[in-house]
Amino acid sequence: MNRFLSTTLTLVAIAATAGCMSAPPNLDLSLTRPTVDHRFVVTLQPPATPPALNQLHAWQVRLASAEGAPIAHARIRVDGGMPQHGHGLPTRPQVTQELADGTYLIEGMKFSMTGWWEIRLAIDSAEGADKVSFNTVVTEPGARR
């Protein structure tokens, strides 16, 4: 817990450069999270090389049941934005392919400034519907977890 907290603090300190508005101190930056109603566990995978600001890029998302079984053929809507600036994502990213059972490709991701971004997924599948939200802190020169 302490190690997680200090990582968060370091990242938040870096984020303080973003228009001189810092992200909240208790931001959960984990990339694997249960959905709101605990129906699914979702893992987000950013690109291996952090993208530059304003560069279009793709993320992957792995969708599993609470027990860890991959969830195929789900429909996933992507939304997000900067809570501290009140604006949404500069693009409308979409899931364009299911790469393998339970692994989906999100294309059209873009961050237009450094700072705290929220990435929200609305999931709809034969196993039910649920929502999950991730935090990411974008730093110069690219995105970091």
Chain residues that interact with other proteins, rule: CB under 8 A: 9, 12-14, 16-17, 19-22, 24-25, 52-54, 56, 83-94, 107-108, 110, 112-114, 140
Q: Residue 53: is it exposed, middle or buried by C-beta count within 10 angstroms (0-12/13-18/19+)?
A: middle
Nearer to other proteins, 35 or 114 (CB): 114
Q: How far is the CB of 39 from other proteins (least distance, A)?
A: 27
Alpha carbons 4 and 9: distance in angstroms, whole number: 9
Residue-by-residue DSSP string for 40-87? EEEEEE--SSPPBTT--EEEEEEEEETTS-B--S-EEEEEEEETTTTE
Nearer to other proteins, 65 or 139 (CB): 139
Nearer to other proteins, 90 or 128 (CB): 90
Q: How far is the CB of 19 from other proteins (least distance, A)?
A: 4
